[in-house]
Amino acid sequence: MPAVVIALLVAVAFFLGYRFYSPYLANKVYALQESFVTPAHEFRDGIDFVPTNKHVLFGHHFTSVAGAAPIVGPAIAVVWGWGPALAWVVLGTIFASGAHDFGSIVVSVRNKAQNIGTLTQTVINPRSRTLFLLIIFFLVTLVNAVFAIVIANLFMANPAVVIPIVLEIPIAIIVGQIIYRQRTAALAPSIVGVVLLYASIPLGRAFPIEIDGFAEMVGVQPRTAWVVLLFLYAGLASRIPVWILLQPRDYINSHQLFIALGAILLGIIIGMNEIVAPMLNRDLPPDTPNWFPFLFVTIACGAISGFHSLVASGTTSKQLDKETDARYVGYMGSLGEGSLAVGAILATTAGIAIVGLDWNTQYATFGDAAGGAVGNFVQGVAGFVSNFGIPVEIGTIFAALVVISFAATTMDSGVRLQRYIFQEIGEIAGIRVLKENLNLVTVVAVIVPLLLALDPELAFGRLWTLFGTTNQLTAGLALAVIAVWVLTRKRNPLAQIIPLAFLLTMTTWALFVQLGDLWAARDWLLLILDAVIFILAVWLIVEAVLALRRAQAAKQEAPAPEPDRSGGQE
């Protein structure tokens, strides 16, 4: 089947979801009121609380939620065939992510734009705040570890991308100096930055950088050497003020996001390439875990991502002009993220054939599928862009450059976030040195995920699964908050409870099965991590059930609430 047909069918499904399911959520479940005074109006200060046009807000929201993670999961999950991966992305986006992202905005808007961390405390109970912090801690640890490995794998597979990626740092710094110090309009320098970056691709091809010799000299695997170097970079980058590197690089990344999306779409349309992967892979490699439940934790971002609730409730809700805009911003943001995941599925099932790769060889084992997932995506995108005349060699570096740019930004901000968490832990535990010594806490924030990434027994697929489960748990916590809120408003919470129950079942099941696998593999580090996350999952289930029961009891006792047309907390 041509990839373009799948793209069109998905577009129709997403349209139907937006046209018919999102109005159901808006009218029957969240009961949005155009006249409701949103926090953006109630606390209007022009700084944090700014009523914002819904199209502007969608741009802010979508670029925040779109990144590298919706690429990795789908690129692994096609090992079960493109059918299950696509079905979960489409159904998850329409019924789970849509309800989750949209609902996170609504509940936050109805509670003075409080973020999801605070809402877990106020809507569920104070204990849940600790649960939230613990889940975020493991989530960030795993994010840093998996992205270090993703980048290391891409560097090893594409040594020609190393120079462009290294050059991106001074390019971004110069762009930042021009934008921030000279207060120049950002468009021209950032576009010149992108042009310079892409112009460095031939240089990268001429001087590919491999560190096999260096790795051999110090007696480690090349991947280990790359991972250590990447964490060294992330640690140093996280100590630099954000306006020096992180923010200016984002001017380049924001262009790259739309260039990459446009290039993939154009390539799919022009090429009319056939999907070469099986719809349902009946000849699974022996090391592949069962698709049920592992498909649903392998694809987290792209089907549903708990991280979105942080953006939805932390920033977006403060800018919502009309409550009814939440449908457009939140639900459409989910559809945008789902589209990125569909692009990843098509690149790894149709695009890779264009460059002459044999799908069965690329997905010969689950280890190959997991370890080579992003490499396959990069090759697939190179195939698509070759449909409009970009040589495959150039296209490969271009795609790797885009993915690594996003992943490096994630690592930079991930280490910063990890540092904050350790400082918080330091404060709670009374360890002043951890709270006050930024260098020490940065080292700790780097070492924890580094140990994971350097686990000698590490199978990337298992690490990714753990990342997916923690992301799903974050989503579960947000869905529990939304479900309790909906129930206390005397409305039907099934739109949240069904995805919540499904997610929690799949995550705990996957974690339980993986406990046995890790025990058999004697991978003690991941075994401990899996066990801890399993306990968190059970804790979350208990909290969700208790909160829903309390809400159900309160619903039966309390009179129906009057329609609320004023702002403020409910």
Partner 1 sequence: MATHHVILVREWDAQHTGSGCCGRVGGGVELCDGDEFARSRTEMERVGGIYQALHAAFGDQLDLTVVDPRNTMWLLPTVYRAARRRGLRRTAALRTMARSTANGAVVLDGKVLFDGKLPPSPVEAVAAVRAELTTTAGGA
- Does position 126 interact with partner 1 (CB under 8 A)? The reply is no
Give 15 or 420: the residue with its C-beta nearer to partner 1: 420
- 245, 169 Cβ separation under 8 angstroms: yes
**What number of chain residues touch partner 1 (CB under 8 A)?**
72
- Closer of 411 and 484 to partner 1 (Cβ): 411
Q: Contacts with partner 1 in 319-358 (CB under 8 A)?
A: 337
Using the rule CB under 8 A, is 45 a contact of partner 1? yes
* Interface positions, 416-435, toward partner 1 (CB under 8 A): 416-417, 420-421, 424
310 contacts partner 1 (rule: CB under 8 A): yes
Q: Are 514 and 529 in contact (CB under 8 A)?
A: no
Name which position in 70, 235, 380, 383 contacts partner 1 (CB under 8 A): 70
d(CA 90, CA 60): 23
- Name the residue with tokens 């640690």: 235
Kindly indicate which of the ranges 11-19, 133-141, 510-518, 534-542 contains the residues binding partner 1, using the contact rule CB under 8 A: 133-141
Residue 91's H or E segment, with its range, is helix 82-91
Among 69, 109, 124, 541, binds partner 1 (CB under 8 A): 69
| Sign, Cα dihedral of 443, 537, 317, 254 | positive
Instruction: Name the segment binding partner 1 (CB under 8 A); options: 47-55, 455-463, 496-504, 526-534.
Output: 47-55
Q: Which two tokens stand for residue 490?
A: 């005397």
DSSP assignments along 242-277, one per residue: TTTTHHHHHHHHHHHHHHHHHHHHHHHHHH-PBP-S
d(CA 212, CA 242) in angstroms, rounded, equals 32
Stretch that binds partner 1, among 66-74, 86-94, 361-369, 390-398 (CB under 8 A): 66-74
| 305 lies in the binding site for partner 1 (CB under 8 A) | yes
Binding-residue pattern over the window 79 to 118 for partner 1, x denoting contact by CB under 8 A = ------------------------------------x-xx
Decide if 467 contacts 139 (C-beta within 8 A).
yes
Kindly compute the dihedral angle of the four CA atoms of residues 507, 511, 517, 523, in this order, to the nearest 10 degrees. Answer: 130
Q: Which 486-515 positions form the footprint of partner 1 (CB under 8 A)? A: none
Choosing from 4, 107, 131, 136, the residue that interacts with partner 1 (CB under 8 A) is: 136
Distances (CA, A) of 445 to 136, 449, 486: 14, 7, 38
* Among 200, 313, 349, 507, contact with partner 1 (rule: CB under 8 A): 313
Cα atoms found within 13 Å of the Cα of residue 284, Cβ hemisphere only: 18
135 binds partner 1 (CB under 8 A): no
Instruction: Please tell me whether residue 133 binds partner 1 under the rule CB under 8 A.
Output: yes
Distance in Å, CB of 158 to partner 1, minimum: 20
Q: ∠ at Cα 504 (499, 508), nearest 5°?
A: 150
**Residue closest to 90 by CA, chosen among 22, 167, 12, 165:** 12
- Asked if 533 touches partner 1 (CB under 8 A), the answer is no
Is 381 a binding residue for partner 1 by CB under 8 A? The answer is no
Binding piece for partner 1, criterion CB under 8 A, among 14-22, 55-63, 205-213, 507-515: 55-63
Provide the sign of the torsion angle of the four alpha carbons 301, 295, 71, 345, taken in this order. negative
CB 203 → partner 1: shortest distance, Å? 25
Nearer to partner 1 by Cβ, of 140 and 548: the residue is: 140
Contacts (CB under 8 A) with partner 1, residues 223-242: 241-242
When asked if residue 287 is in the footprint of partner 1 (CB under 8 A), the reply is no
- Range in contact with partner 1 (rule: CB under 8 A) among 38-46, 323-331, 391-399, 510-518: 38-46
Q: How far is the CB of 48 from partner 1 (least distance, A)?
A: 8
Buried b (16+ CB within 10 A) or exposed e, 128-154: bbebbebbbbbbbbbbbbbbbbbbbbb
Is residue 314 involved in binding partner 1 (CB under 8 A)?
yes
Stretch in the footprint of partner 1 (CB under 8 A) among 266-274, 390-398, 403-411, 552-560: 403-411
Rounded (10°) CA dihedral 306, 136, 503, 107:
-50
Residue whose tokens read 């991106």: 168
CA 201 to CA 69: how far, in whole Å? Answer: 24
Closest approach, Cβ 315 to partner 1, in A, equals 6
Distance CA 349, CA 371 (A): 16
Tell which positions 146-185 bind partner 1, by CB under 8 A. Answer: 179-180, 182-185
Q: Which is nearer to partner 1, 70 or 371 (CB)?
A: 70
